[in-house]
Amino acid sequence: MGFVLSPIFLFFLLSPLLISSMAQPSTVKIGALFTFNSTIGRSAKSAIEMAVADVNADPRVLNGSHLDVILQDTNCSGFLGTIEALQVMENEVLSILGPQSSGIAHIIANLANEFKVPILSFAATDPTLSSLQYRPFFLRTTQSDQFQMRAIADIVSYYGWREVVSIFTDDDYGRGGTISLGDALNGQRMTISYKAAIPPGANRERISDSLVEVNLVESRVYVVHVNPDSGLEIFRAAKNLGMMGSGYVWIATDWLASFLDSYSQPSSEIMDLIQGVLVLRQHVPDSRLKKSFVSRWNKENAGIGLTTYGLYAYDSVWITAYAIDRFLKEGNIIHFSSDDKLNNATGSTIHLSSLKVFDGGEKMLKQILNSNFTGVTGDVRFGQDQNLIHPAYEILNIGGTGSRQIGFWSNHSGISVTIPETVYNTTLNSSNANHNLYSVIWPGQITETPRGWVFPNNGKSLRIGVPYRASYKEFVSKDNSPEGVHGYCIDVFQAAVNLLPYPVPYKFILFGNGKENPNYSELVQNVANHVFDAAVGDISIVTSRTRIVDFTQPYIESGLTIVVPTKERESNAWAFLKPFTVEMWALMGLFFLFVGAVVWILEHRTNHEFRGPPRKQFITICWFSFSTMFFAHRENTVSTLGRFVLLVWLFVVLILTQSYTASLTSMLTVQQLSTGIQGLDSLISSNEPIGYQVGSFARNYLIEELNIAESRLVQLDTPKDYARKLQLGPKNGGVAAVVDELPYIESFLSDNCKFQLVGQEFTKGGWGFAFPRDSPLAMDLSTAILTLSENGDLQRIHDKWLTRTACDSQTDSVVDANRLSINSFAGLFLICGIACVTALIIFFLRILCQYSKYNTQVEEDVELPDMERSVKRPARLSSIKDLISFVDKKEAEIKSIIKRKSNDKDKSHRTDRSSEGESVSPA
Instruction: Convert the pLDDT of each residue in 96-113 to its tens digit.
Output: 998 988 989 998 998 899
- Pick the closest to residue 338 from 321, 355, 323, 350 (CA basis): 355
Sign of CA dihedral 323, 325, 329, 333: positive
- Do 165 and 246 lie in one domain? The reply is yes
pLDDT at 218: 86
Instruction: Rank 8-22, 511-525, 795-809, 873-887 by mean pLDDT and report only the highest.
Output: 511-525
DSSP string, 853-915: HHHHHHHHH----HHHHHTPPPHHHHHHHHHHHHHHS-HHHHHHHHHHHHHHHHHHHHHHHHH
pLDDT at 816: 42
Number of domains observed in the structure of the chain: 5
Where does a domain end: 669, 689, 708? 669
Is the pLDDT score of 260 beyond 90? yes
- 910 domain-assigned: no
Decide the pairing of beta strands 249-252 and 755-758: unpaired
- Pick the closest to residue 65 from 257, 295, 265, 326 (CA basis): 326
Is the pLDDT score of 893 beyond 60? yes
- In this structure, what CATH number is given to the domain that contains residue 489? 3.40.190.10
Give 428's DSSP letter: P
User: pLDDT per residue over 577-631, tens digit each?
Assistant: 777 788 888 887 788 778 777 777 777 666 656 666 667 666 666 766 667 666 5
Kindly indicate the confidence band of residue 14, based on its pLDDT and cuts at 50, 70 and 90. very low
Is the pLDDT score of 795 beyond 70? yes
Is the pLDDT score of 657 beyond 50? yes
Give the type of residue at 563. V
Domain that holds residue 84: 27-143+293-381
- In this structure, what CATH number is given to the domain that contains residue 366? 3.40.50.2300
pLDDT at 842: 83
- Pick the closest to residue 557 from 744, 722, 686 (CA basis): 744
Give dist(CA 732, CA 735) in Å, integer: 9
- Do 270 and 302 lie in one domain? The reply is no
- Do 617 and 525 lie in one domain? The reply is no
- 77 domain-assigned: yes
- 900 domain-assigned: no
- Do 173 and 283 lie in one domain? The reply is yes
pLDDT at 870: 41
pLDDT at 82: 86
**More reliable by pLDDT, 754 or 33:** 33
Kindly indicate the confidence band of residue 137, based on its pLDDT and cuts at 50, 70 and 90. very high
- 878 domain-assigned: no
Strands (E), 98-219: 119-121, 138-140, 163-169, 191-198
- 438 domain-assigned: no
Give dist(CA 468, CA 511) in Å, integer: 5
- Do 88 and 234 lie in one domain? The reply is no
- 169 domain-assigned: yes
User: pLDDT per residue over 698-707, tens digit each?
Assistant: 999 999 999 9
User: pLDDT per residue over 472-521, tens digit each?
Assistant: 999 999 998 888 999 999 999 999 999 988 888 899 999 999 889 999 99
Residues 637, 643: contact at Cβ < 8 Å? yes
Q: Does residue 455 sit in helix, strand or coil?
A: coil
pLDDT at 583: 83
The mean pLDDT of 221-230, rounded to a whole number, is 93
pLDDT at 891: 63
Q: Does residue 408 sit in helix, strand or coil?
A: strand
Q: Of the ranges 87-101, 428-442, 460-474, 764-778, which one carries the lowest mean pLDDT score?
A: 428-442
Compute the CA torsion angle 669, 670, 675, 681 (nearest 10 deg): -160
pLDDT averaged over the chain?
83
Where does a domain end: 764, 787, 819? 764
Sign of CA dihedral 259, 261, 266, 270: positive
Q: How many CB atoms lie within 10 A of CB 350?
A: 9
- Do 260 and 297 lie in one domain? The reply is no
pLDDT at 17: 43
Percentage of the chain lying above the pLDDT 90 cut:
48
**More reliable by pLDDT, 257 or 685:** 257
Is the pLDDT score of 31 beyond 80? yes
- Do 546 and 418 lie in one domain? The reply is no
Radius of gyration of the chain (CA): 50
**More reliable by pLDDT, 468 or 779:** 468
Kindly indicate the confidence band of residue 367, based on its pLDDT and cuts at 50, 70 and 90. very high
**More reliable by pLDDT, 624 or 405:** 405
Give 133's DSSP letter: G
Where does a domain end: 745, 764, 783? 764
- Do 149 and 261 lie in one domain? The reply is yes
- 781 domain-assigned: no
Residues 858, 851: contact at Cβ < 8 Å? no
- Its pTM stands at 0.67
- Do 163 and 149 lie in one domain? The reply is yes
- Using omega within 30 degrees of 0 as the cis cutoff, is the peptide bond preceding 579 cis? no
Kindly indicate the confidence band of residue 715, based on its pLDDT and cuts at 50, 70 and 90. very high
Contacts of 373 (CB under 8 A, 6+ apart): 318, 322, 380
Give dist(CA 299, CA 564) in Å, integer: 93
Give dist(CA 622, CA 635) in Å, integer: 12
Q: Of the ranges 228-232, 251-255, 487-491, 564-568, which one carries the lowest mean pLDDT score?
A: 564-568
- Do 526 and 593 lie in one domain? The reply is no
CA distances from 145 to 124, 199, 462 (A): 9, 20, 38
Is the pLDDT score of 767 beyond 70? yes
CA distances from 83 to 33, 45, 369 (A): 11, 20, 27
Is the pLDDT score of 818 beyond 90? no
Q: Does residue 431 sit in helix, strand or coil?
A: coil
- 300 domain-assigned: yes
Is the pLDDT score of 857 beyond 70? no
Is the pLDDT score of 223 beyond 70? yes
- Do 70 and 114 lie in one domain? The reply is yes
User: pLDDT per residue over 73-84, tens digit each?
Assistant: 988 888 888 888
- Do 399 and 542 lie in one domain? The reply is no
The mean pLDDT of 58-67, rounded to a whole number, is 91
Kindly indicate the confidence band of residue 869, based on its pLDDT and cuts at 50, 70 and 90. very low
User: pLDDT per residue over 531-565, tens digit each?
Assistant: 999 999 999 999 999 999 999 999 999 989 999 88
Kindly indicate the confidence band of residue 433, based on its pLDDT and cuts at 50, 70 and 90. low
pLDDT at 762: 86
